[in-house]
Amino acid sequence: MAAFIAKQMVGNQLKSVKAATGGDKDEESKEDGDGGEDPEIEEARREAEEKRKEKHRKMEEERETMRQSIRDKYGIKKKQEEEELLKQQMDSAGRVGRKKKTPAELAAEANAGEEEDDEDEFAMPKNLDEFKSKVQDIPQKLTQTVGEVSEKCSLQ
């Protein structure tokens, strides 16, 4: 632990000295490396990404044909949920998470939430009598427990 703290203290001072003398050029070039990339390299990366996506799409098509042949062979029906999920994934264009709600859906939820709040605000709990009896028993239990403790303990 002490070594860690010492390293942190000395390391921070060393960085400030490097920055003041201009010897910290390596870190600056690493930070600016993405912005000044050669257009040819960017194009090559984009093409590689497209090839990778196409490869994965073809592999998925092959898998789906294999799945379908297995379904046909054993008489298994394809679940509709899977088809809907695939359609949603295609529609969302790579979006992670659920689809966005429409303004009508948001308004309906807000109205339903307000109605529930109004009902909950004035509604009494169904087991209110049970709570009352428990609250009334607390002082009795407290005095009983204090009595038991004082019997077990004796001051000398």
Higher-confidence residue of 35 and 107: namely 107
pLDDT band at 103 (very low <50, low <70, confident <90, very high): confident
CA dihedral 134, 140, 141, 144 (to 10 degrees): -170
pLDDT at 118 over 60: no
pLDDT attached to residue 59: 97
pLDDT of residue 155: 62
pTM for the complete prediction?
Answer: 0.32
- Does residue 111 or residue 85 have the better pLDDT? 111
pLDDT of residue 61: 96
- Both structure tokens of 154: 């004796």
For residue 18, pLDDT beyond 70: yes
Question: Looking at per-residue confidence, does 2 or 42 come out higher?
Answer: 42
Tens digits of residue pLDDT in 129-155: 888 888 888 989 889 888 888 888 766
Q: Give the CA angle between residues 112, 97, 104 to the nearest 5°.
A: 30
